[in-house]
Amino acid sequence: MIFYLPKFVANDKHWRPHVGIRYLFYFLVPYMLTCTSLHADEFFEKKVRPLLVAKCYQCHAGTKTSGGLALDTKEGWAKGGESGAAIVPGDIEASLLIDAINYKGLEMPPADEGGKLTSDEIAILTFWVKNGAVDPRITGQHIGGMSRAEAKSWWAYQPVSPIDQADSPELIDIYINRRLQQHGLEAQDLSTRRELIRRATYDLTGLPPTYEEVVTFQQDPSPHAFRKVVDRLLASDEYGEHWGRHWLDVIRYADTAGENSDRPLPHAWRYRNWVIQSINQDIAFTDFVQQQLAGDLRPLGESTDHKNDGIIATGYLAVSRRYGHDINKDIHLMHEDVIDNVGKAFLGMTIGCARCHDHKYDPITANDYYAIYGIFSSTNFSFPGCEPIPQPSDLIPLTYVGEQAREYETYLAAKARYDANRPNNPETIQNLKDLAAPSLTLLATANVGQNGNEKLEVHLGDNRIHRIKKDEVLQLRINRNGNYGADTTGIRLNIQNKQDPEKNWSSQELIALIDSDSPFIEVRGARWAFLDPTNGPKYLVTKRLEIGGHAALKGWAFGDNPSFYANTSNTTVSAWTTLPPQTLFTHPGPNEDAAIAWICPEDGEYEISGHVLDGHRGAGDGVTFYIEHIQSAVFGNGLAKLGNANGNLTPPTPLIPPVAYAVTEGTVADAPLQIRGDPEQPGDNVQRRWLEVFGGTPLTNPQDSGRLELAHWVTAHPLFARVLANRIWQWHFGSGIVSTSNDFGSRGAAPTHPQLLEFLAGQVIANGYQLKPLHRLIMQSDAYQRSSHGSELANTEDPSNQLLSHFTPRRLSAEEIRDSLLLVSKELDTQPGQHHPFPPETSWNFSQHAPFNAVYATNKRSVYMMVQRQRRHPFLALFDGPDPNASTPVRGQTTVPTQALYFLNDEFFHSSANLTATIILASERSATTIEEIYQLLFQRMPTAAETDITLNFVNSYDGTNKQKWQAITRVLLSSNEFLYVD
Amino acid sequence: MTKTNGIHIEGMNRRSMLRSSVAGSLLLSGITECLALDDSGPLSPKTTHFPAQAKNVIFLFMTGGVSHIDTFDPKPALHRDHGKEIVADHPEIKERPGYERIYLKQPQWEFSPHGESGIEVSTLFPHVANCVDDLAIIRSMHTSHSNHYNATLGMHTGSFSVSRPSIGSWITHGMGTVNQNLPGFVVIAPRQTYAGTQVYSNDFLPAVNQGTLVVPGTEPVANVSPRLPKDKQRLELDALQAINALHANSRRNTAALNARMKSFETAYGMQQAVPDAFDFSKESKETLESYAVDINSTTGFGWQCLAARRLVERGVRFVELIDTGSSGNWDAHGDMMTHVALAKNVDQPIGALIKDLKQRGMLEDTLVVWTTEFGRTPFNNTADAKGREHHPWAFTSWLAGAGVKKGITYGETDEHGLRSMVDKVHVHDFHATILHLLGFDHEKLTYRHAGRDYRLTDVEGSVVKGILS
């Protein structure tokens, strides 16, 4: 149906009484000017549907039919509500809807639901009704945007035809060549062996072959020579790193969460490495995908390894992007990201499009969306933290295995010992405190004022010689007086047995012993203890090996203070105050006294002497000391026991508990439909089930989230094999048989070779969904092995080479460029990467004002680089790296001048080139330098013309020999031959 | 373009030295062929839907949320009602402890009429006030989110949650650019603002449309400073092109290879063109002083504004200037007085930019856009609170230059500046209007991605006709 608007406006008489024609005219003028032949369906989709959804659906859609009126289907408005048909197509006078939106009689939308429509909006609906109210939303006949009949016969949803042919690469060529013939194009000859091995090596590993590998292949007379090359490459670890990266593109892997502060995901790497490992092991792709959706529920085996892997695999779900300030408030967006990716990655379906309304073109309804939504909202996702809730949580613990498991046992034993003897056991302290109080005698006390130096013996007077029994305690306690601070206090406590002059002790001896294992030190039978007497006797268990940067100052403290410390050196230390050599100091705490206690080794008369002096002159209000005798051997023994226990002070280093950023089952419930995709406007609950177009199968076990069943539905569907076969083809040839490899729906591209795709999908199934047999099959075909030099005819008739008359050359990907530079400069670290050097979680204070932002240097392969969601890695962004926020089905291959600037001036590029040249110059060579360079960079010998150009360049370049060769190496590393694969 | 030609000719002369040593005329013809200028690149100028009034955009983004009621939207009633309690279902006070009750808070700066139009502007922007007869001030802006991140993303991409192409990317994608030696879309920012690189990302549009970040300082564009003396670099480039020509000559479909060869010549030119654009030594003393630029400094908003004029002069399509970053900005929760220094930082340079563009006749086809991500609340939890909170319900933006009425205000907020009331302009409408001025129907500037046609304005937006001249 075509509208000719000017005619319509000019002829119509019914307009005037209704809407101000003035407004209508305003609205229509642009249409008259720009789209005089707007199709009725398009008008509905562009103008009417969004308006109905935005302004009417809230009360008149789904099960919400205020006044009995539904406006989400044609039948709905035709049947109408309590007042009769809402719309009579073509007759605005008879259409109640038009009256209502003009606030004639009914007033719709009512004031509390947004109020009267604007004049433009009224004009849209009036125009639509007047012109027949064309409405493609017919219940029953459509699912989403496709008719049932069309959906039923949609090519991509049909069962894959079973393979009745032997798996032969020739069959691929039959399909390809047939279409070439139809278009009068000829297949090119096969490429040279050098081209082929370079193509295959980059294709399977993302790295170039060595010159030796090329020569071996060139000289191999075996008819299976190429098969041997392919087998060797498929067996290499580099294969999984390269093809794992393909998968990480599709599932938009990143190392940060993407919410407003872009928090790091320190455990996501386990999923990344699991992908690489699984691709290398060539596990069936059905298992590979089922594990990612529900590996926690059904691991691939019963071993601890299998269980761990099952959990780690669900990292696929956890690495979904998070949104907003408080992630939990925007969790519906995370679910959209999950559903969108599940649809595209596994099925080539754009399910995510049905969040706000039924899919416009494909058979996917909003109910389908929320049926799947319920499965994921019944799942508990690891929480990465966000600005208002900073710390990560719900990380899934893994079980230690192998060597780690033994280390863990050792750790647990050490931890148990530590816990049993844990410092300052509070029960013990309380017992001791209770014992001390009744048996304490104060022998002397005095204030030590500014610059004071009080001798103990002076203040002890008659108590100077005192009887102390074995295991009783003599204690010198220091109190801060009024002010805390500047209370550094020099102390000396001498104790002399009056019966035996040999038996004497002094706190001075502790200076040499201060670096012992604990604040409990035995000297000739007596035991000394550094204590906080206020909160116990509580040992000062924090060992200080330096104070304020002064290595000579060592001691014991609890927190900052109270503390005891010594200047252990023979020179004065000038710190916050002057600390003379070989002196013992104490500093009481803000609320705690400091005490040095001496546990008596045998009964006797003891002479007590020493001093307490102000060690921070000219500041503060001094301290008070107390000399106390605790006449309880039980107390002394208890103190000793506690001290011994505290000898084992260092807790065993906790092993970092292995955890996964993954998912588990959550609170299971169906989710409500969100009207217009707005979680604030819940509709009715939608039962969790499979997509309606595929039968709408309900869950067998609705008490579970449904992930496991979803995983089986997804992997059992014919789309799964088709989409996978197409991706494998695309990753070999650069373009898929369906070029929109994430969209096999009505808006996607049609397959260029439908039978070939069918054949490959059949092969995928016949080979148990393993990738390696497919690689072998495809790479053995002539189509894969053809020269990349397209004919003139092909370049004009089929410029994008859809028909594959030749192999399409390609530019190296960002990762391949970087890895190749690292390889030729011998800088590449081939060990797999693990976790990134993120700052520790406890230190995170990222916010939207100061989000996480880092680029970490590494010489590992690029697949192990840290990629952020909010800030793209500059190198990856420059060379069309994957989008960390959305599935990247195909890499771009742009050519922009800023890339050329990289080759001209980038530091990494220059250093790689210079290093490469330096290595070649230093090597023991049989070939000439230029030959060496060509062998390393291009895996071939230079031609005479190339030798001429390079040598001429080298000779005319001003500089040292090294500089000359570095220059030509830069040139060759910048060249098209290095950057393109034939 | 003359510069490019110059370089080519110079290069060719040097290349002739190689002639004797390589395959002679065959090679040379290959080079000539692949370096021949063609206008078929992805950024070459393109035709718009209808004739564009604006050819260039300078987009001034004040990050953090500028208070409308203290700058461009006078509200005398706020003085009268200062301290009066109000009730509002506001996103920033919902379930926020201490915000159970809110009170109106009066503006802290005086407003007075300026120019022939008599439009009132506060004392925070004396220089911009001097240009008020050139501005179309929209006082009825509103946005969809009260968070910096989301509102900033929305103002740049039309999306308040997920990544989408930036407005600058849409425009360069739609129009191309005229100087192939400079990027079409340049963002000059001392620091990253909210949402990071997403604010100038091409997202699913071709990578050539991504914003090139210029960080004021010694090397404004990454890798643009030659690492080698020019003559050596030229020698290497000539050898590279010779090697590439040999490679291309043995192949038939060489479009991609030639494009890459050409990109090296462009890059070579950029090494000159980019520093030239940022070299102010030929600017007059008066000009420098008007922008408040210190010739020895390569930072400051004056530097950014003058750089913007010079880039537009050289054909850069879209220049965005971000005044600060994701902290230390207009986000005056603690104290509105922080607006003083921030306004001082941008006021004189912006005034100078408008006058300079006008004087040079550039304002005829350059659109200057001044905006922020949202306004600030006319209330707080005590009337004497020093700061104001995020306010998505109302804020002020203005346009000046190509195709825009001069010396008008458009739209109104209510008497307290709480809600946009008359002729409301949503961010989508704002974008639709900017695209309109550049010759685009915002509903037709679409890009097919993942099975759907996307546009800057999502499924909304209408052109604000009232400000079109």
For A386-432, the DSSP string reads -SSS-S-B-PEE----HHHHHHHHHHHHHHHHHHHT-TT-HHHHHHH
Q: Which residues, including other chains, have CB under 8 Å from residue A262's CB and lie 6 or more apart?
A: A256, A846, A851, A852, A853, A868, A869, A870, A871, B196
Determine whether the interchain pair B246/A949 forms a contact, defined as Cβ–Cβ distance below 8 Å. Answer: yes
Within 8 A of B204 by CB-CB distance, chain A residues are 883, 886
d(CA B39, CA A392): 52
A901, B225 Cβ separation under 8 angstroms: no
Determine whether the interchain pair A848/B452 forms a contact, defined as Cβ–Cβ distance below 8 Å. Answer: no
pLDDT at res. B38: 41
Q: Which of A472-481, A588-597, A648-657, B31-40 is predicted least confidently?
A: B31-40
Which residue among A880, A896, A956 places its CB closest to the CB of B263?
A896
Query: How buried is B191 (Cβ within 10 angstroms: 0-12 exposed, 13-18 middle, 19+ buried)?
Result: middle
Determine whether the interchain pair B192/A905 forms a contact, defined as Cβ–Cβ distance below 8 Å. Answer: no
A130, A12 Cβ separation under 8 angstroms: yes
DSSP secondary structure of B388-456: --EETT-EEEEEEETTB-SSEEE-EE-TTSSSEEES-EEHHHHHHHHHHHTT--TTT-EEEETTEEEET
Within 8 A of A789 by CB-CB distance, chain B residues are 250-253
Intra-chain end-to-end CA distance of chain B, in Å: 32
Length, in residues, of chain A:
982
Which residue among B207, B221, B462 places its CB closest to the CB of A892?
B207
Q: What is the nearest CA distance from A232 to chain B, expressed in angstroms?
A: 30
Q: What is the nearest CA distance from A911 to chain B, expressed in angstroms?
A: 11
d(CA B454, CA B204): 10
Which residue among B198, B206, B225 places its CB closest to the CB of A905?
B225
The CA-atom distances, in angstroms, between A842 and each of A223, A264, A326, A391 are 61, 12, 19, 8
Q: Which two tokens stand for residue B3?
A: 């510069």
DSSP secondary structure of A29-52: HHHHHH-TT-BHHHHIIIIIHHHH
| Strands A682-686, A542-544: pairing kind | unpaired
For A743-792, how does the pLDDT look when each residue is reduced to its tens digit (9 = 90+)?
Answer: 999 888 899 999 999 999 999 999 999 999 999 999 999 999 999 998 88
Determine whether the interchain pair A949/B233 forms a contact, defined as Cβ–Cβ distance below 8 Å. Answer: no
pLDDT at res. A894: 79
Within 8 A of B42 by CB-CB distance, chain A residues are 894
Determine whether the interchain pair B235/A953 forms a contact, defined as Cβ–Cβ distance below 8 Å. Answer: yes
The predicted model gives A55-80 an average pLDDT of: 79
Instruction: Give the DSSP H or E segment for A599.
Output: strand A594-599
* Structure-derived torsion over alpha carbons of residues B257, B258, B264, B267, reported in degrees to the nearest 10: -110
- Amino acid, res. B319: V
pLDDT at res. A9: 35
Closest listed residue to residue A530, CA positions, set A558, A550, A505, A504? A558
Within 8 A of B208 by CB-CB distance, chain A residues are 894, 896
Give yes or no for a cis peptide into A109 (omega within 30° of 0).
Answer: yes
Determine whether the interchain pair B267/A353 forms a contact, defined as Cβ–Cβ distance below 8 Å. Answer: no
Intra-chain end-to-end CA distance of chain A, in Å: 50
**Beta bridge partners of residue A393, listed in sequence order:** A383
A598, A613 Cβ separation under 8 angstroms: no
d(CA A612, CA A622): 11
Q: What is the nearest CA distance from B161 to chain A, expressed in angstroms?
A: 7
More confident site: A294 or A75: A294
| Strands B379-380, B102-104: pairing kind | antiparallel
pLDDT at res. A166: 63
Q: Which residues, including other chains, have CB under 8 Å from residue A68's CB and lie 6 or more apart?
A: A80, A81, A82
Q: What is the nearest CA distance from B289 to chain A, expressed in angstroms?
A: 33
Within 8 A of A50 by CB-CB distance, chain B residues are 459
pLDDT in tens, chain B (469 residues): 333 332 232 333 333 333 333 333 333 333 333 333 344 566 788 889 999 999 999 999 999 999 999 999 999 999 999 999 999 999 999 888 889 999 999 999 999 999 999 999 999 999 999 999 999 999 999 999 999 999 999 999 999 988 899 999 999 999 998 888 888 999 999 888 898 888 998 888 887 888 888 888 777 888 999 999 999 999 999 999 999 999 998 888 787 888 898 889 989 999 989 999 999 999 999 999 999 998 888 888 999 999 999 999 999 999 999 999 888 899 999 899 999 999 999 999 999 999 999 999 999 999 999 999 999 999 999 988 999 999 999 999 999 999 999 999 999 999 999 999 999 999 999 999 999 999 999 999 999 887 778 999 998 999 999 999 9
Closest listed residue to residue B380, CA positions, set B418, B419, B346, B424? B418
The predicted model gives A578-589 an average pLDDT of: 93
Q: Which residue has the tokens 């103002």?
A: B155
Confidence tier at A364 by pLDDT (50, 70, 90): very high
Q: Which of A320-334, A644-658, B102-116 is predicted least confidently?
A: A644-658
Q: Which residues, including other chains, have CB under 8 Å from residue A10's CB and lie 6 or more apart?
A: none
Please say if the pLDDT value at position A92 is more than 80.
yes
Within 8 A of B275 by CB-CB distance, chain A residues are none
A470, A640 Cβ separation under 8 angstroms: no
d(CA A818, CA A207): 10
Domains of chain B (ranges; CATH) run 1-37+222-277 (no CATH), 42-220+285-467 (3.40.720)
More confident site: A415 or B465: B465
Q: Which residue has the tokens 């990071």?
A: B196
pLDDT at res. B191: 86
pLDDT at res. B98: 84
Which residue among B163, B227, B443 places its CB closest to the CB of A885?
B163
Determine whether the interchain pair A897/B270 forms a contact, defined as Cβ–Cβ distance below 8 Å. Answer: yes
Which residue among A120, A880, A900 places its CB closest to the CB of B207?
A880
More confident site: A841 or A199: A199
User: Residue A638 has what DSSP assignment?
Assistant: H
Within 8 A of B239 by CB-CB distance, chain A residues are 949-950, 953, 968, 971
Q: What is the nearest CA distance from B112 to chain A, expressed in angstroms?
A: 34
**Beta bridge partners of residue A39, listed in sequence order:** A2
Determine whether the interchain pair B452/A747 forms a contact, defined as Cβ–Cβ distance below 8 Å. Answer: yes
Q: What is the nearest CA distance from A939 to chain B, expressed in angstroms?
A: 15
Determine whether the interchain pair A975/B271 forms a contact, defined as Cβ–Cβ distance below 8 Å. Answer: no
Q: Which residues, including other chains, have CB under 8 Å from residue A343's CB and lie 6 or more apart?
A: A349, A350, A351, A352
Confidence tier at A414 by pLDDT (50, 70, 90): confident
d(CA B439, CA B454): 18
Which residue among A262, A333, A945 places its CB closest to the CB of B196?
A262
Q: What is the nearest CA distance from A37 to chain B, expressed in angstroms?
A: 15
Determine whether the interchain pair A851/B42 forms a contact, defined as Cβ–Cβ distance below 8 Å. Answer: no
For A538-564, how does the pLDDT look when each residue is reduced to its tens digit (9 = 90+)?
Answer: 999 888 888 878 889 999 998 788 999
Within 8 A of B198 by CB-CB distance, chain A residues are 870
More confident site: A165 or B299: B299
Which residue among A324, A895, A967 places its CB closest to the CB of B147?
A324
d(CA A303, CA A546): 49
Between positions 930 and 949 of A, the ones with CB within 8 A of B are 943, 945-946, 948-949
Determine whether the interchain pair A975/B243 forms a contact, defined as Cβ–Cβ distance below 8 Å. Answer: yes
Which residue among A790, A900, A907 places its CB closest to the CB of B252?
A790
Closest listed residue to residue B30, CA positions, set B259, B236, B246? B246
Q: Which two tokens stand for residue A401?
A: 């295995």
pTM over cut 0.80: no
Q: Which two tokens stand for residue A88?
A: 């009579």
Within 8 A of A953 by CB-CB distance, chain B residues are 235, 239
Within 8 A of B331 by CB-CB distance, chain A residues are 849
Which residue among A791, A901, A943 places its CB closest to the CB of B252?
A791
Which residue among B22, B240, B256 places its CB closest to the CB of A974?
B240
For A255-290, how does the pLDDT look when each residue is reduced to its tens digit (9 = 90+)?
Answer: 999 999 999 999 999 999 999 999 999 999 999 999
Determine whether the interchain pair B247/A353 forms a contact, defined as Cβ–Cβ distance below 8 Å. Answer: no
Best residue in A45, A328, A329, A848 for a mutation probing chain B (most B CBs within 10 Å): A848
Considering chain A, what is the average pLDDT of its residues? 89
Closest listed residue to residue A971, CA positions, set A949, A940, A948? A949
d(CA A113, CA B389): 27
Determine whether the interchain pair A323/B263 forms a contact, defined as Cβ–Cβ distance below 8 Å. Answer: no
Between positions 330 and 359 of A, the ones with CB within 8 A of B are 330, 333, 337, 344, 350, 353
Between positions 664 and 693 of A, the ones with CB within 8 A of B are none
The CA-atom distances, in angstroms, between B297 and each of A626, A956, B277, B281, B292 are 66, 40, 15, 11, 11
- Cα-based angle A694, A697, A700 (whole degrees, multiple of 5): 150
Question: A41-45, A450-454, A975-979 — which one is most confidently predicted on average?
Answer: A975-979
pLDDT at res. A422: 64
Q: Which of A524-538, A712-726, B207-221 is predicted least confidently?
A: B207-221
Within 8 A of B462 by CB-CB distance, chain A residues are 120
Give the count of alpha carbons within 13 A of A957, CB side only: 29
The nearest alpha carbon in chain A to B195 belongs to: A870
Determine whether the interchain pair B451/A848 forms a contact, defined as Cβ–Cβ distance below 8 Å. Answer: no
Q: Is A473 helix (H, G, I), strand (E, B) or coil?
A: strand
Q: Which residues, including other chains, have CB under 8 Å from residue A456's CB and lie 6 or more apart?
A: A444, A476, A493, A608, A609, A610, A611, A612, A625, A627
**Looking at the complex, does the CB of residue A739 fall below 8 Å from at least one CB of chain B?**
no
CA dihedral sign, ordered B267, B269, B275, B277: negative
**Looking at the complex, does the CB of residue A166 fall below 8 Å from at least one CB of chain B?**
no
pLDDT at res. B28: 35
d(CA A874, CA A885): 15
d(CA B161, CA B158): 9
pLDDT at res. A62: 63
